[in-house]
Structure 1
C-alpha cells in the first residue's frame, strides 16, 4: 500500500467472538517496505537496462550449453547467422550447424580447462544459407557450485569484411612494392633490348642473303628480344606502370571482334560461348589492355581444361553496391561494365586462389607459362579503376568478373578493320640523337644514317643544348632520351623554348613513367617512342614527326 510516498506491506486477520462466529473486528499489521520496494524497482530498471544493452548491441551476444544448444541470443546474433528469430536459432546444434569445422568447437571448449575466459579466438562459421563467415569470439564459462560448466556466455564479432579488406591491402602493398622494383629496372632492361634488336637488324641487313643459317640465327635473337619486350610490358601492366589510353569503348563490340581469333587459338574441344548484352553503356578503357585481359583469361581457361570444356564470355551492366565494391576491390560504388569469363576446368583450391595474382606464381609444369598472365590482368584492371571477382573451387571451374567504369561520353564509331602495313621511308634531314647510353646512341646513329639521314650525336641534354645553339637551323629533328644525367630531355626542350628556339622533338624512354623519376610531366601531345624499339619502329616514328605539319 502506498501512503503518501511510503510503501507498506499489510497483513490482516479477522477477529471472532467464538469459533465459527461472525467477524467482530480485524487485526492489521503494517510493515514499512519503502526501501525494499525502491530496491526492487531499481533492480528491475537495471535488468531492463542490461537487457536493452545486450539486445541493442551491434555485436552478437549469446549463451550456449556445453552440449551445443543455444539458450539465449540477442537480435544482432540472430541476424549475424541469418535466422528469422531466437526461437528458430535455439533449435540448431552449435557444432554441427554453425561451425564450419565441428572439431573447432571442441578445441575451444578444451581451452576452458585452464582458464575461465577465451578472448579473440577467430573461427570459421557458416550462416543458415551456408555462406561462410569469419568471427572473433570472446567467451567466459559460467560454472555451477560443483565446478562443472553450466553454460558459455559469448560475444561474437563478424570480421569477414575486415579480413577481406586487410587481404586486399596486403595484396595492394605487395603489388606496389614489386611495381616500384619493376619500374626501376624497366629503363635499363628496355635499353638492353633496344640495343639487341637494333644491332641484330643492322647485322641482318649487312649479311649476304645466301647466309641463310646466319639469318635464321639472327631471327632467333630478334624473336627472343621481342619476347623480352612483351614480358616487360606484362610486368609493367601487372605493376600498374604501363601507359594506358583510356577512351570510351564498346565492351560487347570488343568481345565480338575478338571472338574469331579466340576460337582459332583455343583447341577444338573447347566450346566458346559468347553472350553480349544489348544496349550496354560504353566503358572507359584502353582497347589493347582489354584485349590483353581477355586473351590472358582465355589462355588461363584453356590450360585449366586439358580435356576440353566450355569457355563462356559475357558482357553486362552492373550497379556495384558498397558491399560488392568492397568484395571486388573497385574504388567506388556505381555503374560498371562487367566482363565475365568462366570455364568448366579444374578450378583452384584455396591456397592457389590466394596466390593466383602473384607474379611468376604458376601451377603449370616447368617451361610452360611465365606466371604473369593473371598478375597482368590484376594490374590492368586496377589501372582502369575497376575491380575483379573470382569464384572458383576444385573441380568446379573458375569464373572471373572484371568490372570497368562506365564512360561519361560515347565514343565516335570507329572501324577496327585491318590496317595496311606502313611503308618504311628514309630521308636526308639532319637529326640530333641525344642518348646517354653509348651503345644505344651508336645503334640509332647507324640505323638513321643507313636510311639516308645526317646524324649528329650528344651524350646528354647539356651537350645537345650546345649543339643546338651552334647548329640550330640545320637540325630537322631532335631524338632525345627523357631521363639523362646533367640535363634530361624535357629540361632540354624547356631550355630551348626559354631561349626562343624551336625544333621538332621526338622523345624516347625505357621508363614506364618517366615523370615518376622526379622530372616534369611530359605533355601527351609531344611525340613519344617507347623503348625497346626496332629499326622499323624508329624510322616510322621519325618520318611521321618530320612529315607532320
Structure 2
C-alpha cells in the first residue's frame, strides 16, 4: 500500500471524523473528549504514516488517511467500531494486544502475517506493527496508539528471492550430482579455446586442474588437429555448440575415439565467457563399426562369389491369409544360375510361381514359425530344375525372414534315375527272392510256433471243455429238478449259463492267441491320429462318459505302426469305459519330453532322449497295488467271468516296448487310472531345455474364510490345520452335501478347497452346484495322483486352479492366495 497519502485524502478523512456521530459511541461528542485525545488526534490526522487510536477496552477505532488506505473497502464502515469487529480475521490477536497495551505494555511486531479480506479477497498480508499506551491527565491508560506499516511487497520480494536462491542451489546440486554420476570426460575451455581451464578425464584421458595451453598437441593426434581446429573455429564464429567425433590420446598413451560436445557460456552482452564440455569414450563403438564393416565386406565377397544360390525371403500377409506369401529381399548372382530365374529381388513367390507357390510357402513358413532349420530336395517345376536346399530362420523371428542356400542337382538326379532304371530288374529279382525266402522261413517258424502253442492250447481247451460240459450238463439236470417259477433260481441259472458261454469263447481266443502280426511303422503325427479317433470314441463309450483331449500344440512325430497305435488307444478307452460303469471322464493327453538318467526307475529301460508321451487317464474304479503289479501279465484280468481275457494291457505293453518305448501304469483304487506311453521321437536326438521353477513363497492370509472338503478324515484335518497356520479362518466338510450346507450357513466363506474324487458327490459336481448358488466363490481343486486332470478344459475356461497332492505348505499358500486374489470378472 502507498503510505504517501495526499492532502486531499487527509482532509477527507479528517472531515469524516469531525462529522461522525460520536455521541452514539462510548467516546461521546468530540467537544467532550479529553484535551490530550484531541491533541493526539490532530497530530495523527496530519501524519502520513498509517496510524490509529484504539479507545478503551473495546478499542474504538479512530484513524488517519494512511490507515484508511490499509482498511480498503472496510473504510469508512469500521470508523468508530470496536477493533475486534473491524478486523474479525485478527480478533484473537487484537484482543490480546489490547489487553497487554491497556495494561501499560508497548508492543512491536516485525513482518507480522495476517490472512485478511483486502478488497473482497482473502490473502496473506504482512505488517510492521507498533503499539503504545495513551494515558489521561491522571496517568491512567485510556487508549492505544497503533502505527501500521505494510511490508507485504517487501516480504513477497524476499520470499521470491529465497525461492530463487533455493532453486539455484538445487540446480547446482543436481548439476554437481550429474557431473559426479556421468562417466563422460568434463572440461572447461577459455573463450578462444587457447587454454584448457580444467579437465576431469575419468580415467579415459589425462586430468588437468590448472590452465593448460598445449592441450591440443598433447591430447589430439597430429593428423586430427586441423579437423578439430576447424570445428572449434566454426563453433566460436557462430557461438554455437561444438560437436565432433575425433581420435584422442588416452591416459595409457594409446589412441581412442571420443564424441566431444561443448556449449558456449555467454554473458549479458552476448560475449563468450567460457566453454563447458563433455566427451564420451566411443572407442568400443568405433571398433565395433570397423568390425561390422569388415564383416559386411566379407559377407559381400562370399555373397557375390559362392557357386550356390543364396537368397533371403521375407514373409508378408496376402489374399491367401496370414504369412501366405513371401518376397525376395536379397539374392546373389548364383541364384539365377542354379534356379534358372533372374531378377527375383522384389518379386513375390505367388507372382513368380503361381502354380507351385503354395508348397514353397508351406515349407519355409514352417521354418519361420518353429525356428527349426530344414534340409530337403525339391523340384522347381517352373524351370525343371531339381534343387538341394537348406533353410533357416533369421533372428529375431519378428523380422519374418528366412535364409535359403541351394544348388542345382538336376544332373545328379538324372544320373540317379538312370542308375535306378538300370538296376531295377536286378533289384526286383533280389527282392522277390528275399521275400520268398523270408516268407518261407517265417511260415516255417510260425508253423512250428503254432504247432507248439496248438498242442498246449489244444490240451487245455480239451480239458477245459470237458469240465464245461460237466458243468453244463449238471446245470441242465438241476434245472429240471428246480421249480421253473422260482425267479431267483432262474436268474442264477442264467448267470451260470452265461459264464459257460463266455468261458467257451475264451477257449477259442486261446487257440487264436499265437497269430503273428508284423508291425508297419512310419512317421505318425499323434495329434492328428487322436483327433481322428474322437468321433469313434465318443460313439463307442456312450453319453455317460465325457472324452477330453489335452494335446500339445507342438507335439513331435513318432515312428510306430499307426493301426496298432489306434488299437492300443481304443483298447485303453474300452478298459476305461468298463472301469466307469456309472459314467466319468476319459482324458487323452500328448506332450513332448526328454528322458534322462534322472527320469526315474520306471523309465530306466529306455535310452535317454526325446520322446512323445501319450497319456490316457480315467476317473474309474482304479486298481489296488496288488492288481497293478500284475496288470501287464498275459491272461490276468480283474473283470468278472466273461468280461475280459487278460490280453489287453499285455498287448499294449508288448506294442510299446517293441516300438522302442515304455509304458507306466499309475492307479489308485476308487480314484482312477493313468496309462503313460512314451514313444521315441522320429526326427532324432532333439534336446529340451529344463526350466527350473522358482520355489514358491509362503503368502500369509488375512483371516479370509475358507471351506475344506475331503472324504479322507486325516487329509481334511491336516489341510485345515495348514490353512489355519497360514492365517485363514477354516471350515471343514466331509462331503459335498455337508459343504453346501456350510456355505449356506456361513456366507462369508470366500474360497472352496475340494478333493476331485469323492463318494456320492464328486468335486466337479460340488463346484458346479456351489458356483450356481454362489457365483463369486473362488475354487481350488486338490487331487492325489499326477496327470489325472479330469477337469482340465473347464478349469482353463473358468480360471479354476488345481493343486496336486502331495504338496508343501508354500505351494498351498501360493495357490490359495492366487485363487483369492483372482477377480470375479475373470472367473465368470
Higher relative contact order (CA 8 A, sep 6+): 1
With structure 2 as the length reference, what TM-score do the two structures score? 0.23
